[in-house]
Amino acid sequence: MSKFSFAFSPCPNDTFMFEAIVNKRIDLKGYEFDIHLDDVAQLNQASAKTQYDISKISYNAFTLVTDHYQLLKSGSALGHNCGPLLIAKEKLTVKDLRNCKVAIPGVNTTANLLLSLAFPEITQKQEYIFSEVENALVRGDVDLGLIIHENRFTYQERGLVKIQDLGEYWESMTKCPIPLGGISIRRSLPQEVKEDIETILSESIQFAFDNKEVVQPYISCHAQEMDENVMQSHIDLYVNQQSIILDASAKQGIVRLVDEIKGLYPSRSIKHPIFV
């Protein structure tokens, strides 16, 4: 029996997708999974150290580890109208942004990459855990906040305003869905094993769609301070048919993102194929 370390975030989209693996509700094909949960920025750092066999990863961070990892076509957070938001305490003009300090949820997150593409003039960046970005903005530690995950549903309650939806920026520029994060797997594993894992992830996500009430307790126990409506909105936004298996348009969007990254960081060497 083969055992693999599998790391993903405690956010509702990931716990929804992978509950059936954690609790062995589907055929795991004889494999065992050692589960680790952490913030995506921490998972990106762990991937740089090749810490896990299978891991959630920002697509931006993935381009730093292609020597060691490939992307599975199941388990992605990718779609339309689901991108990160740049927010502030009050409306600001593009001219105002040049001298602003912004809180970001990790330097290698896809959110930060999109910020660099949309607003290259913003260079004063400070890293925070994603859940602390709003607090840093409210306290006045920074002038702007780059929010991801469930914060996009709650920022207005704190009197904050949207400067730019970076997902809308990406979609208007590329006509492709916005690729946020995916699941990486060790490149060195046998191809049949990688394909088995991809199938397991796909079946886990389908199980969640078909049995929402069954997977709910696991989601809730990792999102204890989150309103149920926010939790469901989070899942609805980030989990879709593209999460089950990427189609041609989704893969095109990921390839386009990789090309944009290579343009910004020419020194990054991307090993192909990037997909299993």
Parallel, antiparallel, or unpaired for β 69-71 and 124-127?
unpaired
Return the bridge partners of 185, or none.
54, 70
Report the pLDDT value the prediction gives residue 46, as an integer from 0 to 100: 98
Does residue 136 contact residue 88 with C-beta atoms inside 8 Å? no
Peptide bond into 10 cis (omega under 30): no
Average pLDDT of the residues in 55-75: 97
CA distance 184 to 219: 22
Q: What pLDDT does residue 112 have? A: 96
Least confident of 13-22, 120-129, 192-201, 223-232: 223-232
Q: Between β-strands 77-79 and 144-147, what pairing exists: parallel, antiparallel or unpaired?
A: unpaired
pLDDT tens figures, 132-176: 999 999 999 999 999 998 888 889 999 999 999 999 999 999 999
Q: Please state whether beta strands 101-104 and 144-147 pair in parallel, antiparallel, or not at all (unpaired).
A: parallel
| Mean pLDDT of the chain, nearest integer | 95
Residue 124 backbone phi and psi in degrees, to 5: -90, 100
Q: Is the pLDDT of residue 110 over 80?
A: yes
Prediction pTM value: 0.92
Q: What does the pLDDT read at residue 95?
A: 84
Residue 17 CA to residue 95 CA, distance in Å, equals 41
Residue 58 has pLDDT above 90, yes or no: yes
CATH superfamily of the domain spanning 3-79+178-264: Periplasmic binding protein-like II (3.40.190.10)
Same fold, 3-79+178-264 and 85-174: yes
How many angstroms separate the CA atoms of 62 and 66, rounded? 6
Which pLDDT score, from 0 to 100, does residue 260 have? 93
- 29-51 mean pLDDT: 97
Q: Is 149 a catalytic residue?
A: yes
Q: Which of 36, 149, 222, 272 is catalytic?
A: 149
Domain boundaries, the chain: 3-79+178-264, 85-174
pLDDT digits (tens, 9 = 90+) for 198-209: 999 999 999 999
Query: Where do we find the tokens 């290579």?
Result: 262
Which secondary-structure segment (H or E) carries 210? helix 191-210
85-174: CATH topology: D-Maltodextrin-Binding Protein; domain 2 (3.40.190)
The backbone region for 164, taken as left when phi is positive above 0, alpha when psi lies in -120 to 50, beta otherwise, is: beta
